[in-house]
């Protein structure tokens, strides 16, 4: 077990690494548990590691690749003395201070780290269809974020998979760019609110394929369409699309904190209004793990800055 740290940051997307930059520059010598490489967005660098061009992050007028942007964040944190470990936290105990964090065997009697404050920035994952070649196609015609990637599909035909508010919101937004947007939904009625449904029905650029599931992504290295099956007739068709947006929901990475930090009904962490404070004093949360509304790199980054400042001031108050 190491000494008691001032700050441990769990998660290394834009929120966690921004918190690392700020706390490192405040001489708090943060330790970032950045996660371990995996095929999902629950990995070092977060969801931007699965993106190609990022054109809406201010400061990069020509755009930047998602992984390169995250490498820049990481290098900036290292430059100011943040320590970054490529490991996942396997267990936490926030019942008393100093807080305990385990890496590796969660059953180990002794925690791996002790800390006076914790910044939780474990992010969220877009739910995916789970089809073969899905991970390879993300950023190559397959996306989970219309705000981020809609611009790349000007005058093209695109598909949105899902039937909730997100799917309709994404589809409506995409009609600003696309020549046609087809919503593919597995049932014969939407889950979305009535007002959102009406928005889809009223939009002449939106077509709806009911009772339809995606069997396969077509295209190697780049999406060129979908193999679709009608669940009533079992009829299978290949349909050409230049882009496919999966909008079947998100899952915050909060499993580690269940029973310790307060969660909303949808599993996102609750932070106190206009702050990064959680229900446990000294534990702060930032980024997508506590944001089910905006879900942007820049908002995650901004909230990481808030968490760092909250943690720094809270530590100062303890010393006083």
Q: Which residues bind ligand NAP (CB under 6 A)?
A: 129, 161-167, 169, 186-187, 191, 248-249
Are 153 and 174 contacting, i.e. CB atoms less than 8 angstroms apart?
Answer: yes
Residue 149 known to be catalytic = yes
Nearer to ligand NAP, 83 or 292 (CB): 292
Classify 45 in phi/psi space as left (phi over 0), alpha (psi -120 to 50) or beta.
left
Q: How far is the CB of 83 from ligand NAP (least distance, A)?
A: 36
Q: How far is the CB of 150 from ligand NAP (least distance, A)?
A: 15
Are 256 and 93 contacting, i.e. CB atoms less than 8 angstroms apart?
Answer: no
Are 56 and 47 contacting, i.e. CB atoms less than 8 angstroms apart?
Answer: no
In angstroms, rounded to a whole number, what is the distance separating the alpha carbons of residues 64 and 201?
36
In angstroms, rounded to a whole number, what is the distance separating the alpha carbons of residues 90 and 101?
8
Nearer to ligand NAP, 78 or 129 (CB): 129
Of 145, 165, 288, 310, which one is the catalytic site residue?
A: 145
Residue 286 known to be catalytic = no
In angstroms, rounded to a whole number, what is the distance separating the alpha carbons of residues 63 and 197?
34
Burial status of residue 107 (CB atoms within 10 A of its CB: 0-12, 13-18, 19 or more)? exposed
Of 6, 42, 53, 149, which one is the catalytic site residue?
A: 149
Q: How far is the CB of 3 from ligand NAP (least distance, A)?
A: 42
CB closest to ligand NAP, residue no: 164
In angstroms, rounded to a whole number, what is the distance separating the alpha carbons of residues 162 and 154?
21
Burial status of residue 212 (CB atoms within 10 A of its CB: 0-12, 13-18, 19 or more)? buried
Residues 6 or more apart in contact with residue 198 via CB below 8 angstroms: none
Nearer to ligand NAP, 11 or 162 (CB): 162
Q: How many CA atoms lie within 13 A of 57 on its CB side?
A: 24
Q: How far is the CB of 231 from ligand NAP (least distance, A)?
A: 11
Q: How far is the CB of 127 from ligand NAP (least distance, A)?
A: 6
Nearer to ligand NAP, 24 or 289 (CB): 289
Residue 148 known to be catalytic = yes
Nearer to ligand NAP, 27 or 39 (CB): 39
Could you list the active site residues?
A: 145, 148-149
């Amino acid at each position: 077990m190491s000494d008691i740290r001032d700050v441990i940051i769990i998660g290394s997307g834009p929120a966690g690494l921004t918190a690392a930059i700020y706390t490192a520059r405040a001489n708090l010598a943060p330790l970032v548990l950045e996660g371990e490489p995996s095929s999902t967005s629950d990995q070092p660098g977060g969801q931007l590691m699965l993106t190609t061009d990022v054109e809406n992050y201010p400061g990069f007028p020509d755009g930047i690749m998602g992984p390169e942007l995250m490498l820049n964040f990481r290098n900036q944190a290292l430059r100011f003395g943040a320590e970054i470990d490529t490991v996942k936290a396997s267990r936490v105990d926030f019942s008393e201070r100093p807080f305990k964090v385990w890496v590796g065997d969660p059953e180990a009697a002794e925690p791996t780290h002790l800390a006076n404050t914790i910044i939780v920035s474990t992010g969220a994952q877009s739910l995916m269809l789970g089809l073969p070649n899905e991970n390879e196609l993300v950023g190559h015609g397959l996306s989970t974020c219309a705000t981020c990637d809609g611009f790349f599909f000007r005058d093209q035909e695109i598909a949105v998979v899902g039937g909730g508010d997100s799917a309709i919101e994404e589809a409506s937004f995409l009609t600003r760019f696309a020549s046609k947007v087809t919503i593919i939904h597995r049932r014969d009625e939407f889950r979305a609110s009535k007002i959102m449904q009406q928005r889809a029905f009223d939009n002449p650029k939106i077509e709806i394929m009911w009772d339809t599931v995606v069997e396969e992504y077509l295209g190697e290295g780049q999406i060129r369409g979908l193999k679709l099956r009608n669940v009533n007739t079992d009829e299978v068709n290949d349909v050409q699309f230049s882009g496919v947006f999966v909008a079947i929901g998100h899952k915050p990475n909060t499993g580690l904190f269940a029973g310790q930090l307060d969660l909303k009904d949808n599993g996102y962490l609750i932070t106190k209004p206009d702050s990064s404070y959680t229900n446990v004093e000294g534990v702060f949360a930032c980024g997508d793990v506590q944001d089910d509304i905006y879900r942007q790199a820049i908002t995650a980054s901004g909230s990481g800055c808030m968490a760092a400042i909250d943690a720094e001031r809270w530590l100062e108050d303890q010393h006083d």
